[in-house]
Amino acid sequence: MEGGEEAAAAAAVDSKDLQQQSKALDKLTDRVEDRQLDSTRVQSAMAALASSKEADWNAMRMRLAS
């Protein structure tokens, strides 16, 4: 019966180790997603700035042409 108890204890340790590995992997993947979201937000902001700058430039050209 002692062998069965040792196997159960080893399985419990393996289970805890797997849980820790899973949590660590989740943290890594969460950070990647956050970085991708941040990258997307930066790209959107840069596109909005470029669009605004172009609109300002066109407005200035129209004022000067009048």
pLDDT in tens, 9-46: 666 667 888 888 888 777 766 666 677 778 888 899 99
pLDDT at position 9: 60
**pTM for the full predicted model:** 0.44
pLDDT value of residue 26: 76
What pLDDT shows up at residue 60? 93
Residue with tokens 């997307």: 40
Q: Which amino acid is at 56?
A: D
The Cα–Cα gap between 58 and 61 comes to: 5
Is the confidence at residue 1, as pLDDT, over 60? no
Look up residue 66 and give its DSSP letter: -
